[in-house]
């Protein structure tokens, strides 16, 4: 593989001890960052690209996305905007569409969404199952998702499958038994929706424990719709992340601050369900590691745009632009327990985004504007030549 010098970087956000480097350059070699520093001390490389004073940031890490589904729920969104409340029950309409879809349709949907992710600067993303809710449909969702990412998550415990409406214990037994056996070979993570209308604390503990026995690592949908046991369950299980964290009490915040569990905030969900946003300041001020992710799904947050989520985090959750950028890069990397992404230092993955802006503040300052000029993923250019050919 040829080495590439990226020079003329007005501001390089390393998300490391090196901080922001002005008038910077970076060398990529064999999919890794080989050098970062001031442009005037840069080594030579096989080829060189001048980004004309633009800002360069690490590729976004979208640590929470439900991409394995078919159909959409535009009518539900429209009704919600006219006053109908969001509930976990809407998931079941996507379950019907997903079960009815062929493998090729599911694959094409994931491909379309991952293309959107890449074009908007997300170079690592997680994909959850959770819209199949049968052994066959959960396993095929994960098998297809595995074609697109290493971070696949088994979410059989999204809601109780319709066939088990009168027997939730029977559904938990299926999820922790035959379904887990079929899904574990295709997944790295196990997730459970611990909330009103989904699973209670004891059921969530059971699901996570079974997943861990099968070699998966836990993460939890916690405290999205109301206060409850989700965050405590996540921390007890040593989960990499507790996601949503919209309704927290002081014990939840303290538990997160004392643990390695990341609080992953998903402001696209509050935007699209017209709900109060999580209190990001309370978490940051308590010392909790915070990530931002899209929660891309057809019900509560149908966006693949991390820049949009950054703008929401700044405007609606009172994060500074710098905190929001860190949460969308390094925070996501922590939530996926991967230490070679979300930062640009020697040895890290060559995942970089050139912004059509002099400073990443513009991601929130210019909401809704496509500022992604170029994207490299694992050293390979996946968007842009710098001449605005989108």
Binding site for Fe ion (CB under 5 A): 295
**DSSP letter, residue 296:** B
Give the residue carrying structure tokens 């390094």.
330
For ligand NIG, the closer CB: 28 or 328: 328
The dihedral over CA atoms of 169, 174, 180, 186, expressed in degrees to the nearest 10, equals -120
Q: What does 148 bind: ligand NIG, Fe ion, none (CB cut-off 5 to 8 Å by kind)?
A: none
We find the least distance from the C-beta atom of residue 105 to Fe ion, in angstroms, to be 22
User: Can you state the percent helix, strand and coil of the chain, rounding each to 5?
Assistant: 35, 25, 40
Q: Interface residues for ligand NIG in 256-275 (CB under 6 A)? A: 269
Among 154, 171, 189, 193, binds ligand NIG (CB under 6 A): 193
Question: Beta strand pairing status for 290-292 and 4-13?
Answer: unpaired
Asked whether position 309 contacts ligand NIG by CB under 6 A, the answer is no
* Residue 138 contacts ligand NIG per CB under 6 A: no
Give least dist CB 131 to Fe ion, A: 11
Number of residues that bind ligand NIG (CB under 6 A): 13
Closest to Fe ion by CB, 51 or 204: 204
Give yes or no for residue 98 binding ligand NIG (CB under 6 A). Answer: no
Helices and strands (H and E) in the chain: how many: 15, 16
Q: Which does 269 bind (CB under 5 to 8 A by kind): ligand NIG, Fe ion, none?
A: ligand NIG
Residue 176 or 246 with smaller CB distance to Fe ion: 246
Distances (CA, A) of 151 to 127, 175, 338, 381: 6, 20, 10, 21
Work out whether 310 is an interface residue with ligand NIG (CB under 6 A).
Answer: no
176 in contact with ligand NIG (CB under 6 A): no
226 to 245, contacts with ligand NIG by CB under 6 A?
A: none
Q: Which of the listed partners (ligand NIG, Fe ion, none) does 193 bind, with a CB threshold of 5 to 8 Å by partner kind?
A: ligand NIG
Q: 364: how many CB neighbours lie within 10 A of its CB?
A: 20
Hey, CA dihedral for 286, 290, 294, 296, is it positive or negative? negative
Q: Which does 206 bind (CB under 5 to 8 A by kind): Fe ion, ligand NIG, none?
A: none
Q: In this structure, are residues 183 and 207 in contact, taking their beta carbons and an 8 Å threshold? A: no
Min dist. Cβ of residue 66 to Fe ion (A): 6
Cα distances (Å, whole numbers) of residue 45 to 22, 207, 277, 318, 343: 20, 50, 46, 42, 21
Q: How far is CA 8 from CA 39, 54, 123, 226, in A?
A: 7, 7, 22, 48
Nearest-approach distance from CB 275 to ligand NIG, in angstroms: 10
Q: HSE on the CB side for 107, CA within 13 Å?
A: 8
Rounded to whole angstroms, how far apart are CA atoms 234 and 216? 14
Site string for ligand NIG, 272-301 (x = CB under 6 A): -----------------------x-x-xxx
Neighbours of 16 (CB within 10 A): 15
Shortest CB 261 distance to ligand NIG, Å = 17
Q: Show the site string, 51-90: x = touches ligand NIG by CB under 6 A, - = not.
A: ---------------x-----------------------x
Using CB under 6 A as the criterion, which residues of the chain lie in contact with ligand NIG when the complex forms?
66, 90-91, 94, 193, 221, 224, 269, 295, 297, 299-301
């Amino acid at each position: 593989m040829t080495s590439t010098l990226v020079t003329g970087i007005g501001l390089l956000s390393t998300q490391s001890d090196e901080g922001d480097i002005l008038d910077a350059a970076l060398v990529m070699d064999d999919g890794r960052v080989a050098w970062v520093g001031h442009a005037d001390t840069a080594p030579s490389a096989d080829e060189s690209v001048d980004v004309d004073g633009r800002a360069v940031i690490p590729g976004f890490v979208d640590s929470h996305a439900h991409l394995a589904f078919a159909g959409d729920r535009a009518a539900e969104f429209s009704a919600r905007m006219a006053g109908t409340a969001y509930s976990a029950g809407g998931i079941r309409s996507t379950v019907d569409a997903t079960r009815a879809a062929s493998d090729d349709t599911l694959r094409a949907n994931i491909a379309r969404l991952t293309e959107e992710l890449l074009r908007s600067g997300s170079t690592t993303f997680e994909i959850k199952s959770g819209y199949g809710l049968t052994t066959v449909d959960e396993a095929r969702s994960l098998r297809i998702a595995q074609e697109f990412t290493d971070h696949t998550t088994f979410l059989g415990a999204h809601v109780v499958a319709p066939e088990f409406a009168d027997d939730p214990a029977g559904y938990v037994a299926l999820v922790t038994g035959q379904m887990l056996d079929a899904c574990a070979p295709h997944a790295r993570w196990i997730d459970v929706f611990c909330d009103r209308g989904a699973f209670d604390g004891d059921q969530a503990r059971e699901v996570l424990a079974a997943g861990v026995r099968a070699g998966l690592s836990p993460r939890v949908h916690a405290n999205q719709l109301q206060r409850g046991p989700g965050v405590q369950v996540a921390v007890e299980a040593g989960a990499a992340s507790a996601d949503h964290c919209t309704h927290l009490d002081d014990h939840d915040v303290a538990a997160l601050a004392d643990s390695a569990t990341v609080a992953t905030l998903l402001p696209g969900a509050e935007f699209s369900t017209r709900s109060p946003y999580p209190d990001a300041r309370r978490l940051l001020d308590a010392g909790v590691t915070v990530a931002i992710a899209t929660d891309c799904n057809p019900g509560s947050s149908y966006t693949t745009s991390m820049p949009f989520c950054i703008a929401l985090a700044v405007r609606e959750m009172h994060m500074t632009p710098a905190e929001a950028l860190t949460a969308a890069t390094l925070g996501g990397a922590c939530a996926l327990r991967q230490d070679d992404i979300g930062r640009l230092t020697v040895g890290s993955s060559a995942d970089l985004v050139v912004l059509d802006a002099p400073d990443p503040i513009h991601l929130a300052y210019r909401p809704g504007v496509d500022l992604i000029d170029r994207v490299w993923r694992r050293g390979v250019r996946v968007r842009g030549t710098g001449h605005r050919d989108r």
